[in-house]
Amino acid sequence: MKAGGPDGIPVEELDEAQARDELARLASAIDEADRAYHTEDAPRISDAAYDALKARNAAIEARFPDLKRPDSPSKRIGGVVAEGFAKVAHARRMLSLANAFEAGEVAEFVAGIRRFLGLPAEAALAFTAEPKIDGLSLSLRYEAGRLVQAATRGDGAVGENVTANARTISDIPDRIENAPTLLEVRGEVYMHHDDFAALNARQAERGGRTFANPRNAAAGSLRQLDSAITRSRPLRFFAYGWGALSEPLAATQMVAVERLAGFGFPTNPLMQRCESLEAMLACWAAIEQRRATLGYDIDGVVYKLDDLALQERLGMRSTTPRWALAHKFPAETAWTRLEAIDIQVGRTGALSPVARLGPVTVGGVVVANATLHNEDYIAGRDSRGAPIRDGKDIRAGDWVKIYRAGDVIPKVADVDLGRRPSGAEPYAFPEACPECGSPAIREPGDSVRRCTGGLICPAQAVERLKHFVSRAAFDIEGLGAKQVEAFWHDGWITEPADIFTLQSRYGSGLQQLKNREGWGEKSAANLFAAIEERRRIPLQRLIFALGIRHVGEAAAGLLARQYGTWDAFEAAMTRAEPGSAEWEELLGINGVGEVMATSLTAAFANDAERALIDRLIAQLDVEPAVQAAGDSPVAGKTVVFTGTLEKMTRAEAKARAEALGARVAGSVSAKTDLLVAGPGAGSKAKKAAELGIETIDEDGWLELVGGG
Ligand code: IVH
């Protein structure tokens, strides 16, 4: 390798000028590799070569801390800048949207809203329809008419402060007039096709980075630490919504957006009000027809219930509003050869078949892998045995049609039997785990075959560890998927608890860790400090990190809020079995069903699992969950609804109570704080009376929570 490469001048021999040059070279090489890997799905260098670049960068930074670049690769996790922007908590969460791909799903969306609100089928219900812009969302906070803060969406609750950059976008006014004293305007930052092409041409000329598509270019341009760079990029903005407000903007979505336009924000000219399902679908078709000539990327149509009071009543699920829907356009497709079918074993033992493909561009991104879901999918049938793709199976060597819908993983849509090589054999799905050899079993009714090796299966163990350190779980800086895998291979970390004893076992004088490839004194010390910092962990993150099947991030949040402390959670999971009060309480949580409850209790009842959890807990200091915030009179209380409700449906009552921070249970127990009883209330009302629990009627409830 040439001098200056990872095998070039040894780090100890670099002088300051050489080190500066070398850091610049490494930053751009790592940046390019990150982009190829994360953004284009087309790695250009091996993992080992990538690690060597990162290690050399870290070693030079450790020797010349003052030369560390503002865009240093050591600050980046994957393709994303992890540090550099201050974090901003959104005053109101930034939501995402539920997706639909077919007209039937749109009909169900409208019908579901009617059901939730208890409206008859003939009641008029108007929706707005507007393009779904393929950019990145931004929240702009105006106080007394001045732009005071701009934040990216982040995880919806906390975003990044990009105020200085947003000020450089000419579509975004610095001052607005006759607006509410507090107004958060939300919308999408995006780039026009011709601006994108010109930017890429300019970048290529200068030897800078080019972008895979306009959305990446917009994101990369907005998230620049140097706002002079953002200023030089042709970004645009469409306003389509709002967050916190000091006073309502209007009574309908349509008029509210017109007001935003009146304040000087660009709003989408194709937005329309539709008074029927047919009108919504017609609007979708009309927007799709114009898609190719708009000059910017859109990937669907967003429908929003027009009446804002009804939006309020509908509220939201954990991350998406019930009153809006994204109706996506059909995905882009491309044909390529399927080279091989590999099996990956996930953290819950699921055997997932992956298609290795001849690289092909689909929707502006190079794709080399696609999911094949499960064995039925490969065989050409769905979970009920009905044919899919007209029953055509998928074999190695086949020509397959690939599609990408939105940001999701590429999938195989079709097979060209005319091009099937002679001698191609049907794929035989393995019945033993390719990683540990244990039998791989398919339970009746399950579409997935699973390795039965449990904790002895190396793939499951590694995947569980990767999950454990992932961003929504322990998120330990310096200990990502790659590092944890390397430690696991060398036997340094075999289960989560080992992470917290790493220093006592291998950190003495830092010598052993320092001797590992890619670790220097500073990075080793940083790692131990980061691990120490995570010993104290919020309950919600801990529950998610355990990686129990069916328990995702949202469910972990619900469980944490319900039980408050680890001790209460653990005791309940240990005692909960069908029929017990603990089981009822668990199922009483909105969002927890039998499948999740069974999975949770099974994990705590399994001796090996339980021992692993206990060893982990012994290392931690678990932070109790913050009880649902708010000053509502029912925050933190357990409420039961019974009898007939006349002014709202049961679903609405429950959703509203939960939005106000209450827990809604299905049965009355000593833990119940309030019973809301409508006409016809029977045994629950009686039991509440016996237990001396406060009981009110529907009007009393509406008075209490300020509705009606
Ligand atoms: S409404 C509840 N309207 O799509 C409101 N979103 O998949 C959520 N987006 O994060 C947003 N065009 O970044 C809305 N006309 C539009 C949109 C739009 C693009 C983005 C937005 C959001 C994502 C959700």
Q: How large is the average pLDDT for residues 538-542?
A: 95
629-662: per-residue pLDDT in tens? 456 788 888 999 999 988 888 888 888 888 888 8
Q: How many CB atoms lie within 10 A of CB 133?
A: 25
Residue 132 bears catalytic tag:
yes
Predicted TM-score of the model (pTM):
0.61
> CA-to-CA distance for 76 and 91, rounded, in angstroms?
27
Residue 144 clears pLDDT 70, i.e. is over it: yes
Q: How confident is the model at residue 48 (pLDDT cuts 50, 70, 90)?
A: low
Q: What is the pLDDT of residue 591?
A: 81
Pocket test for ligand 1, best of 152, 302, 329 (most atoms within 8 A of CB): 302
Q: In this structure, what token pair is assigned to residue 648?
A: 């709202």
Residue 38 clears pLDDT 60, i.e. is over it: no
Q: Is 138 in the pocket of ligand 1 (CB under 6 A)?
A: no
Q: Is 325 in the pocket of ligand 1 (CB under 6 A)?
A: no
Closest C-alpha residue for ligand 1 atom 12: 132
Of residues 52 and 545, the one with the higher pLDDT is 545
- CA distances (Å), origin 633, targets 66, 315, 636, 638, 703: 54, 19, 9, 12, 11
414-466: per-residue pLDDT in tens? 999 999 999 999 999 999 999 999 999 999 888 899 999 988 899 999 999 99
How far apart are the CA of 131 and the centre of ligand 1, in A?
9
- CA distances (Å), origin 662, targets 32, 433, 561, 630, 665: 49, 45, 10, 10, 10
How far apart are the CA of 142 and the centre of ligand 1, in A?
20
463-496: per-residue pLDDT in tens? 999 999 998 899 999 899 989 998 998 889 999 9
Q: Is 257 in the pocket of ligand 1 (CB under 6 A)?
A: no
Directed axis angle between helix 47-63 and helix 16-34, to 10°? 150
Q: Is 159 in the pocket of ligand 1 (CB under 6 A)?
A: no
What rounded mean pLDDT belongs to the chain? 89
Residue 378 clears pLDDT 60, i.e. is over it: yes
Of residues 147 and 24, the one with the higher pLDDT is 147
Q: What is the pLDDT of residue 207?
A: 79
49, β-bridge pairs = none
Q: Is 260 in the pocket of ligand 1 (CB under 6 A)?
A: no
Q: How confident is the model at residue 533 (pLDDT cuts 50, 70, 90)?
A: very high
What amino acid occupies position 246?
S
Which of the residues 68, 75, 132, 684 is marked catalytic?
Answer: 132
Q: What is the pLDDT of residue 442?
A: 94
Residue 87 clears pLDDT 90, i.e. is over it: no
Between 24-38, 372-386, 653-667, the lowest mean confidence (pLDDT) is in 24-38
- Helix (H) / strand (E) containing 467: helix 458-468
Q: How large is the average pLDDT for residues 5-22?
A: 80
Tell which residue, 95, 132, 127, 99, has the closest CA to residue 114: 127
Between 161-165, 360-364, 386-390, 665-669, the lowest mean confidence (pLDDT) is in 360-364
Closest C-alpha residue for ligand 1 atom 21: 137
Tell which residue, 93, 244, 91, 85, has the closest CA to residue 157: 93
Q: How large is the average pLDDT for residues 526-548?
A: 94
pLDDT above 90: percentage of residues in the chain:
63
Residue 6 clears pLDDT 90, i.e. is over it: no
Between 19-23, 67-71, 189-193, the lowest mean confidence (pLDDT) is in 67-71
Q: How confident is the model at residue 79 (pLDDT cuts 50, 70, 90)?
A: very low
Q: What is the pLDDT of residue 198?
A: 94
Phi and psi angles of residue 372, each rounded to the nearest 5 degrees, phi first: -115, 10
678-690: per-residue pLDDT in tens? 998 889 999 999 9
> CA-to-CA distance for 27 and 37, rounded, in angstroms?
15
Q: What is the pLDDT of residue 445?
A: 84
> CA-to-CA distance for 81 and 194, rounded, in angstroms?
27
Cβ-proximal residues to 413 (8 Å cutoff; 6+ apart), any chain: 333, 389, 400, 401, 402, 403
